[in-house]
Chain A
Amino acid sequence: MHPDLSVLDPVSFPPAVSAARPGDAPALDRRSFLRLAALAGGGFALALYLRGPDAAAAEPAVSGGAEPGGDFTPSLFVRITPAGEITVLAANPECGQGVKTAFPMLIVEELDAPWARVKIEQADLDPRLGRQAAAGSRGTPTHYQPYRRLGATARALLVSAAAARWGVPTDELQTPGDARVVHAPTGRAATYGELATAAAALPVPDEKTVPLKDPSAFRLLGRRVGGVDNPRIVVGAPLFGLDVRRPGQLFATFVKCPVFGGVVRSADLAAARAAPGVRAVFEVKAPGVASGVAIVADSTWRAFQARDVLKIEWDEGRATGDSDAAFAAAAARLHDAPPAGDPLRGAGDFAAAHAAAAVRVEARYEYPFLSHANLEPQNCTALHRPDGVELWAPTQSPSGARDAAAKALGVAPESVVVHMTRIGGGFGRRLTNDFAAEAAAIAREVSGTPVQLVWTRADDMQHDWYRPGGFHAFRGGVDADGRVVAWGEHFVTYAAGYDTDKVAGVAGLAAAEFPGRLVPNVLIHQSPLPNGIPLGPWRAPRTSAQCFAQQCFLDELAHAAGRDPVEFRLALLAAPAAPAPAGERGPVFDNARMAGVVRLAAEKSGWGAPGETPWPRGRGRGIAFQFSHLGYVAIVAEVTVSKTGDLVIDRVVVAADVGRQIINPSGGENQSEGSVVDGISSALVQRITIEGGRVAQSGFADMPLLRIDQAPKRIETHFLLTDNPPTGLGEPVIPPVPPALGNAIFAATGRRVRRLPFNAADLSWS
């Protein structure tokens, strides 16, 4: 079981779409095409069809009116009934990032229907729908244009139907946004419902030639729209994975070795089998599923209770030697010696530039492992039958869930059905579908009966795919004009296992926009530590961790050179960016866009405003920026630290450039505000520690999340709209948060905290 990295950010994985021109990417699977289907009782559905091996004949300009035969079943993206009911499909997993609202908005905008009257329906996993994943903030760049085209195609059909009915040219017709087609010269009008059946008989225009609205004509995009599930969330209606209730459903818990990679040596299951409510207890052995013992009972509580009487002897395996202390000692040894091996990146002549620099600074930074701590613990409901398995899964990658279950059962992926539930928090955890594989393997033992696998909070915290910790040693040089001329970095990170030099997929240094493209003389080494820790993507993988070290060290350089941190950064960004180093993948970095958000964050926070008086000791602000997931973000944090070291975060100002259009400002700002809280929580209070190959923490007592009374008093989000394709907001706001906070703490107290979490450091001052 490994994280599904194929769906990760485009910055460092070969993107399926051209990252440089995200607006032109295909949303729909290349093998699928649009067709009309007539609905029983009239009306139409604009459907997608999978282009199968024998589909060529069916492909050209098919008219509606008949259900297609053979393998072609309609997948209903837009459905309009004669009564005027409009239904739009939400194809992607919703984990709080707002796509169940934002993506249907794209369709409805071009359809010109009133949002309030459209019903949004959650799709299941369906290969015809193309990419269905919540990862890498890639949804918006992938779907922005194609979903609009879907809506525009449906509208074009309705307009054509009206034109035929009235014998008028289509260009005399309008759609005023109320689900009607209007012919102003004659005052005629028809509702979409009235036109739907006639529209279903028309040939589907090529969706690539259907005109899209000019953004100035948008009625819906850019408006604040509430989440489509809000009315259900506030009354506690069933939505989430753990809310699934199937007839006769049982509940399961799965006990795994607390040491990573450990396996069952022997188990005495008798007492657990005799426990109240318990239906089955068995050792699970399935490909891709961790070794362990499952308990199936008639309630979650009774399954959990029976764990107490389970007797398992573990073969703990190799990871027992892994510990934070051992990793830190190994990192220190590596940092104390000159870096061995070829540099990861180099530019110019670092040694000479560093030696000649007017100001030189050295510092080491480190941060711990993190767990995702989704508030909804991992879970999955499964029903096994002789011909396959049906899953109800809160997963960010439903195709990954299908494949993991198929592998566990040794069946074809086509025999796995995946229903997508709402997800109680993603953050990258649910790109790894270990819970789905486990549920499928457990369900096979109680075949015919639905079973819900529920991880305890401790299971969730101790069997995560962790955000890797890291150790950075920096050497920087600034010239007499305040320009960064030398940047040396030795990054000690984690390998993809024990017997490999390969850095784990989520642990490598992020792409080289900063400092590589902005500093003339660069020398960067990377050393992986062998380990047995499961590592996985954690919101804005890599940058969400590394930005802390880099932007705090950059701040150190600014202060050492006696420069204002904002001006210092703007000077760095003023130089034209060097081209991407050979071998670096990734999108084009535009330092003018980055400078734009740095300026905006400074201006909105009042940084350097005319007439501003110096802040008293104990109050401070810090700035940081990061390019990630195609978004440009700068953040100013303002803090008050008491003499005894109590920290209050007064205000956080976010400036973000994610292109020309914010689809739903309410959802976009919510992502920004949440990222600020997440970034603070991860840097201030959270830490996973490894001792003897296991996680020391077991719940929110020893691995807290930020509480409301610790959250910033105020968060402001300012979008800088630039003429670039819209990109996602799930991730890019988080990376600059920890360094902005660290830089603010330094400004307030004079204490430079180089190790996370901040709350483990003494922040007192006198």
Chain B
Amino acid sequence: MPTTLTVNGRVHELADFDPATPLLWVLRDHLGLVGTKYGCGQGLCGACTVHFNGAAMRSCVLPLAAAAGQKITTIEGLAADARLTPLQQAWCDEDVAQCGYCQAGQIMSATALLAKNPRPTDADIDGALAGNLCRCGTYQRIRRAVHAAASTLPA
């Protein structure tokens, strides 16, 4: 059964897919979008976070069947015309990353947070990002980068 999947504004017709396949593996192994990371496959680390109609969602536990026909955005789809978003820019300016492996997921969750709440407090940030683990421990800089990006946005 063919499935229509819209990722970063591009429509993909996928033939012969088990509808239970997690979106993560369709992105990574079939569409070549490796920016969305595999960390646990259990919905517990946030490395695989994408936007599902604008909301942060763990793609490792999101079946293809549920993603079909919805608007999916990945880390590769955030920067329009090669211009970084304020959050991506803040992530560079604050030099957040260590190994960097979790950071795509962090940025996706933080982007969804700022879309709803343009002036988050530390507690808001902690709440929205509690599902995004960073093994390298960059949490302090993540908070700082979210505040820095928020300060550039209209309240």
Contacts and interface: CB of A to CB of B under 8 A. Distances in A.
A43 to B, nearest CB: 29
B118 interface: no
A452 to B, nearest CB: 9
A678 interface: yes
B47 A375 contact: yes
Interface string A84-105: 0000000000011110000000
B84 A375 contact: no
A508 interface: no
A673 B137 contact: yes
Interface in A429-478: 454, 456-457
A574 B3 CA distance: 73
Nearest to B123: A709
A98 B98 CA distance: 7
B130 A706 contact: no
A259 to B, nearest CB: 23
Nearest to A714: B140
Interface of B: 18, 21-22, 25, 28-30, 32-42, 44-45, 47, 74-76, 78-79, 84, 88, 91-93, 95-104, 107, 122, 125-127, 129-143
B140 to A, nearest CB: 5
B132 A670 contact: no
Interface of A: 95-98, 224-227, 229-231, 233-240, 242-243, 245, 251, 276, 298-301, 304, 373-377, 422-427, 454, 456-457, 666-667, 670-671, 673-678, 681, 699-701, 705-709, 711-715
Nearest to A712: B140
17 contacts: A226-B93, A231-B84, A233-B104, A234-B75, A299-B30, A375-B136, A376-B39, A423-B99, A673-B140, A674-B98, A677-B134, A677-B136, A677-B140, A708-B130, A709-B127, A711-B140, A715-B140
B140 A235 contact: no
Given A670-B98, A708-B142, A230 B130 contact: no
A605 to B, nearest CB: 17
Contacts, number: 188
A57 to B, nearest CB: 45
A422 to B, nearest CB: 7
Which secondary structure dominates where chain A touches chain B?
Answer: loop
B38 A300 contact: yes
Given A235-B88, A709-B130, A375 B99 contact: yes
B79 A424 contact: no
Contacts of A304: 41
B99 A95 contact: yes
B79 A235 contact: yes
A243 B34 contact: yes
B27 to A, nearest CB: 10
A700 B35 contact: no
A96 B44 contact: no
B8 to A, nearest CB: 11
B108 to A, nearest CB: 9
A681 B38 contact: no
